[in-house]
A = this chain, B = another copy of it.
Amino acid sequence: MLPAHEKKRRARDPERTRERLLQAAFREIHRSGFQSASIDAILAATNVTRGALYYHFESKETLGYAVVEEKVAKLTHDRWLRPMRGEGEAIDILIGVVRRIPDSPQDVRAGCPLLLLSQEMSPLDEQFRKRLERIFLDWQEGVATLLRRGKSQGTVRSDLNPNEAARFLIATVEGYATLAKNAQDAKAWKAGIRSIVGWLRSLRPDNYKRG
């Protein structure tokens, strides 16, 4: 007998259908933005029919909201929040996280979906905006918490304002991501990361030297 995951594909598997739609919608939205994302393109990419899509999602908007909540938020969670909860020195962790952001040409050219959706949708759709804002706030809170821990452990300058520094880090990361996306050049991104790492190092106490 075949292992469970290789069993003959069930004719009906609503969870899988929904997940495939979400994934395809994420890709399409990431490519074209939400407004220009085409339902037809999503259907073509998944071989799901209109009826099935509108069975799982009541409108294009709700599909978009689900993409933000379940796909975009997950990215931030996996790349930032989870690693930041690990052991180690705060600045080291942040440098590691920043360096682990995908830097392949494809990734850099595609850019950050959070950034794209913020620019496009936040003035147009309050429901979108609120969901994106939730992601930014969680991100900021995660960084600030880590910096606070660093301060209490003496590995971060005592005069640093954690919330302010967290915002600064996020702004810089997103700013360089924009420049690199516009340049369509992974080297631009890597140079940005080096600058950010340099700034992160400056958050250590003056008397705190490392190898």
Contacts and interface: CB of A to CB of B under 8 A. Distances in A.
A184 interface: yes
A184 B176 CA distance: 21
Interface of A: 31-33, 35-36, 109-111, 115-116, 118-120, 122-124, 129, 132-133, 136, 164, 167-168, 170-176, 178-179, 181-184, 191-192, 195, 199
Contacts of A136: 179, 182-183
A119 B115 contact: yes
Contacts of A195: 164, 167-168, 171
Nearest to A128: B182
A195 B167 CA distance: 9
A135 to B, nearest CB: 9
Contact of A179 (B109, B171, B179, B181): B171
A172 B170 contact: no
Contacts of A171: 171-172, 175-176, 178-179, 192, 195
A173 B172 CA distance: 8
Given A129-B182, A175-B176, 18 more contacts: A31-B123, A32-B124, A33-B36, A111-B119, A122-B181, A133-B182, A133-B183, A136-B182, A167-B176, A167-B192, A168-B172, A171-B176, A171-B179, A172-B172, A172-B175, A174-B174, A174-B178, A175-B175
